[in-house]
A and B are shown apart, each in its own frame.
Chain A
């Protein structure tokens, strides 16, 4: 599902080029789950962004859901994202001017699909927010916003779900129920999961853990309790 080869990202800075990711390589099969962990500034978010086609690598190659992203322009990568990728962000990233239901429907509406409201409602019901579908983000709590984001991530039946610190802004109880939802939906729909997290417990629930340090991938080990 995801093949990454010798991926490097360098940013030009005033003090010279800064390499934030150095020759990272790994593969992830369909339906698998993987946590990317490492200290702050180790290149986790950069790697996630590159894998999801949000940015271009300086060198190396990415194959996502059967598409090689390297030569694609931004709009072509947007089409890949719309067709195959779901996102959950640390700070929820709901569009503040859209209601919960409208936020969930954006990926389908981008494709020009009509009459997809029932799908959206069903997903909101699945995350326990059926009654809040017409509420705006500002009217929802943090946990509720993240559940709307999760519903939005699954609306386009993604082949792969990218999560960036999905529980980073939530309290313990809310975070726990969010984690259950992510893994539950992931299982139900057979989605591949890539998650950046600082939370060792959460990382441990993934089948694989990719450890980063100083932009380089450390030797990989299996998670102790893959479930």
Chain B
């Protein structure tokens, strides 16, 4: 053992710097893993320490209608404290600029939050809210977006409110929620005067409860579920919120770790490649050691120790860098988490990341190191003996490849906690590797086979470098290509989704939708919209209803039956259905026949059900459903099943009734218009909302902005991790160039000795790195275009978009980075006179 350690140390003398550089390949992968998992621990601890503050109360009880007296009495009897809240959407007018915006109004009453603090800017806003009066606390984005200042007035319904401040932190709400519709907090006492409390207003009613000490909120929930099973109440407790937050966190954490892990695997390949070159330089030394009596195991162990040392050095550096990166991560997740995070180093996570790094490094090192066992002592006499031995098949290599695959799969399964997902990840990663490696081989082969003889010398020499012995073409294509693939895919998915939504508003299609229009307002609203320059293109009546029974089985029985596999949300929800005589442009009947008119007296009414809902509820044509249409039972059967393009900004429905059935029921309308530009949109919104304050509007532009905001946050975190992969690719490139440096120097010196100018030598390098960079970029980008097309087709069900200019720009950046890295890593080779280099490198 002493000999092995001593020899490993001595043998590394001339190459320690280079070995350390090889270890850099795995540093970024380890840093990614350490930072993500340690940050995850920070978040979990933050969640634990602020557990009650996450909800602000022990229990939330929410209902789609005012909470009935028995519920309130029961809650009152618990002996705790109660606060109330009514949450609904409404249009807010910013009087200074006359702009409008859909906001989520929270009308609050009582001493909420009971735990944690309602923080406002300036401080004290929540106190003003409790004191009552017409004050409002707004989402900070509203202040910046509409130039509103504290003290300004805004209009909600019929009332004017004075802005008392902006929200900094409210327990019970994730800031992410606010992205969909900015929040506005007002005192409950000021609500009545706004005129927004009519029976037609869709609102959630919430009781927030602080329980007396020792009372278990989950036990209270169990009791209430039993006692009030007929009511559609939903409950939330601290433990439940923690569970769902924890699960979301685990998913994100697991996914980001996998992205970071790709960097580590790439780094492993980089290490394997660098060690391969290192070992090739050691053949003579190993052969001599074997001649002098070293066993195959001893020689192998010497280099295994070096590989292990490399792994440990890389892991240590990666862990340090990871902790540094971890400090920066809260900036990326700002606004997505409902509580503050204190920075601390989670040593178990650091150890886990570093451990994964060492294991991957050693496993990948084994591939080139196995060759050491097979260097015969005869190679000291004849170098060809080593090549002969290396050429024969080695079953251990297959075993190591299997071990690496198993380790990668095990890590993926461990990270995701799901066998299928982990194995799927491994399979996709393996496929990516195989495709890129196969393309690398093809490129190398093509460079040899097809490089035209008539090309200028520098071009031919540069291309020849792609297929010469010990070339790194395959390795570089795999590492750079995979990095490019990941980053570009994320970018394209984002573009595809946003284009799809934006495209919905093009060519005169609706881009502004008005909701909650009362029956008697529809005509006047259409007039007002027309007068404002954006006439109503489409409108649909909406009748709210609930399911009473499916195929003759009452909903209560279906819900109670544990063996029933119909999701409860489909049975409990309030359906907002419409009626009309024909299908619209966004729909297609896939089963049965659509009925445009029916007579309820003639038997069950034939209704049309959306494809996804029919699947969830296991409904087929002919199945009967009984509805409670605001107190009246309506007997229907499934007449047809429709597919619906939900992404189109047009009124779409789960259930469509034929004409002749629902006309007499209380209903509201939804109307869609097309506004040519932002000004036209503001104008028609003002015209409508001034006259009909109960009507709310959703502007497509705002939806796009909101989705973009959410996507950008998540994509930024994912892209940040993917950048580790790209950077690893560049480090692998540097390593590959440096490992081939000796060979390059010999060639360059020979070329210079034969009269090549420095410029010519540089041009040869430019051609080589340029071709490599272009190929990695093109192949990676093409894979990304394919990946995006598959995701768009099968996951998002939209048309894929791959803007040529942007993909080409991405390719340009990758190519430029490759060339720049190549030149930086190879600098010094062309700048010195041949003799000087010969002396230094001999």
Contacts and interface: CB of A to CB of B under 8 A. Distances in A.
Interface of A: 11, 45, 48-49, 52-55, 74-75, 78-79, 81-83, 85, 87, 89, 93-98, 102, 106-107, 109-112, 114, 138, 152, 156, 164
Interface stretch (B202-210, B286-294, B570-578): B286-294
A140 to B, nearest CB: 13
Nearest to B294: A110
B12 A109 contact: no
A88 B289 CA distance: 13
Interface in B1-40: 2-3, 6-7, 10-15
Given A45-B381, A78-B377, A110-B3, A97 B10 contact: yes
Interface residues of B, number: 33
Closest 4 CB pairs of A and B: A82-B293, A75-B295, A54-B377, A54-B378
Nearest to A109: B3
A89 B381 contact: yes
A96 B381 contact: no
B377 A97 contact: no
A70 B284 CA distance: 25
B296 interface: yes
B174 interface: no
Contacts of B288: 89, 93-95
Nearest to A75: B295
A93 B284 contact: yes
A107 B292 contact: yes
A49 B381 contact: yes
B380 interface: yes
B370 to A, nearest CB: 15
Contact of A152 (B2, B7, B292, B298): B292
B376 interface: yes
Given A54-B377, A112-B3, A97 B292 contact: no
Interface of B: 2-3, 6-7, 10-15, 284-285, 287-298, 376-378, 380-382, 385, 388, 842
Contacts of A138: 842
Name, among A55, A82, A95, the residue most crowded by chain B CB atoms within 10 Å (CB to CB): A95
Contacts of A95: 11, 285, 288-289
16 contacts: A45-B381, A48-B381, A54-B378, A55-B378, A74-B296, A78-B293, A79-B293, A79-B295, A87-B292, A89-B381, A97-B15, A106-B289, A109-B2, A109-B7, A110-B289, A138-B842
Nearest to A107: B292
Contacts of B382: 45, 49
Q: Which of A54, A75, A82 has the most CB of B within 10 A?
A: A54
Contact of B14 (A82, A96, A110): A96
A171 B342 CA distance: 73
Contacts of B378: 49, 54-55
Contact of B292 (A75, A106, A112, A114): A106
Contacts of B377: 53-55, 78, 81
Contacts of A87: 291-292, 380
Contact of A75 (B287, B291, B296, B380): B296
Contacts of A97: 10-15, 285
A16 B287 CA distance: 28
Which of A53, A83, A97 has its CB near the most chain B CB atoms (within 10 A)?
A97
A4 to B, nearest CB: 17
Candidate in B13, B289, B381 with the most chain A CB atoms within 10 angstroms: B381
Contacts of A98: 10-11
A30 B446 CA distance: 60
A152 B288 CA distance: 11
Given A11-B388, A95-B289, 8 more contacts: A48-B381, A54-B291, A54-B377, A95-B288, A106-B292, A110-B294, A110-B298, A112-B2
Contacts of A114: 2
B376 A54 contact: yes
A212 to B, nearest CB: 15
B12 A78 contact: no
Contact of B293 (A11, A81, A96, A102): A81
B745 to A, nearest CB: 15
Contacts of A54: 290-291, 376-378, 380-381
B12 to A, nearest CB: 7
A53 B10 CA distance: 27
Nearest to B379: A54
A75 B297 contact: yes
B836 to A, nearest CB: 16
B796 to A, nearest CB: 55
A89 B380 CA distance: 8
B295 A78 contact: yes
B630 to A, nearest CB: 89
A72 to B, nearest CB: 12
Contacts of A111: 293
Contacts of A156: 293
A227 B552 CA distance: 118
Nearest to B291: A87
Contacts of A75: 295-297
A78 B294 contact: yes
Contacts of A164: 381
B292 A96 contact: no
B374 to A, nearest CB: 10
Contacts of B15: 97
Contacts of B287: 93
B294 A55 contact: no
A96 to B, nearest CB: 7
Nearest to B377: A54
Contacts of A152: 292
A87 B2 CA distance: 24
Nearest to A98: B10
A96 B297 CA distance: 21
Contacts of A96: 14, 285
A120 to B, nearest CB: 13
* Most chain B C-beta atoms within 10 Å of own C-beta, residue among A79, A81, A94: A81
Q: Which of B284, B293, B298 has the most CB of A within 10 A?
A: B293
A112 B298 CA distance: 12
A51 to B, nearest CB: 12
A87 B14 CA distance: 25
Nearest to A95: B285
Contacts of B293: 78-79, 81-83, 85, 107, 110-111, 156
A93 to B, nearest CB: 5
Nearest to A45: B381
B325 to A, nearest CB: 36
B295 A102 contact: no
A78 B296 CA distance: 9
Contacts of B291: 52, 54, 81, 87, 93
A75 B288 CA distance: 14
Contacts of A81: 291-293, 377
Contacts of B297: 75
B573 to A, nearest CB: 74
B385 A109 contact: no
Nearest to A149: B288
Contacts of A85: 293
A93 B375 CA distance: 15
Contact of A102 (B10, B290, B292, B294): B10
B539 to A, nearest CB: 83
B221 to A, nearest CB: 70
Contacts of A55: 376-378, 385
B300 to A, nearest CB: 11
A96 B294 CA distance: 17
B227 to A, nearest CB: 80
Nearest to B15: A97
Contacts of B385: 55
A14 B447 CA distance: 27
A89 B383 CA distance: 13
A52 B291 CA distance: 9
Contacts of B12: 97
A54 B377 CA distance: 5
Contacts of B298: 110
